Amino acid sequence: MKKLGFLFLAVTLWGCSTTKNINNSHEKWVTLFNGKDIKDWNVKIHHHDYNVNFGNTFRVEDGIIKVRYDQYGDFNDQFGHLYYKTPFSYYHLKLKYRMVGELQKGAPSYTLRNSGLMFHSQDPKTMPKEQDWPISIEMQFLGGLSDGHPRPTGNMCSPGTDIFYQGKLYDGHCLDSKSKTYDGDQWVSAELIVLGDSLVTHIINGDTVLQYSKPQIGGGVANRYDPKIKIDRKALTQGFIALQSEGQPVDFKDIQIMELTHQNKKKSN
């Protein structure tokens, strides 16, 4: 019993230490997608000007944001993103997604059953017409290929950005999570907890699958951006969130956010 008492005390103290900088008294969930339209969202698709929703890529049907390419023809690297209208800094976001249908003709093979949520993104108004990817961090969503091989979801990718993982600058573009593989067209619940330019946590179906810290501008992959925007080593304290279209039909729903207030925030190492 004495050992159990010490264990309970240790767990309690740990819990307090991880939440002491977050004040929960005024936090509440806010719905970002009203289930009817995307009037609160803005579009930027590669090869097109800001707010041109080419081919009705992002549409609302049956209370769902659907990403479709039936008006495209060849995909032609028309990578797109649907941005909520305001940026966020310190928050807990949750949504549900599912992979549906077939990869669009001409889309890169790596985009098969592949989509994502961009966050801490640059303002889409600052993206030139020919910029392919926004400078941002991505919570990558991958669907299983029903081949018996693991394919985790809730991964991290970093177009034009860098992160720290396990205390060190991560030198890759994508970082796999430890999630399960989700085959078929099942709905998957994803949550993202972002503490400014400090700790970032990815959660899939209730399980914490990845954590990293110090999101900042840097790295490659994003192309033809305005050089005034890409200031390497600049900490990403806030930015826009966006749903991705890159050739795979995908559905999104139940998008909610809880902004987190904080006091005397300390950066994570």
Structure tokens at 124: 């889409």
* Residues sharing a CB contact under 8 Å with residue 171, sequence separation 6 or more, in sequence order: none
pLDDT band at 261 (very low <50, low <70, confident <90, very high): confident
Dist CA 116 CA 201 (whole Å):
15
Q: Stretch 252-267: mean pLDDT, rounded?
A: 79
pLDDT digits (tens, 9 = 90+) for 223-244: 999 999 999 999 999 999 999 9
pTM: 0.87
Which pLDDT value is given to residue 263? 54
Residue 267 has pLDDT above 90, yes or no: no
If residue 4 lies in a helix (H) or strand (E), which one and from where to where? helix 2-19
**Does 27 have pLDDT greater than 90?**
no
The pLDDT of 85-106, averaged and rounded, is 98
Nearest to 132 by CA among 94, 78, 176: 78
Q: How many of the other CB atoms lie within 10 Å of CB of 174?
A: 14
Res 269 pLDDT > 90: no
Q: What angle do CA 252, 244, 213 make, to 5 degrees?
A: 100
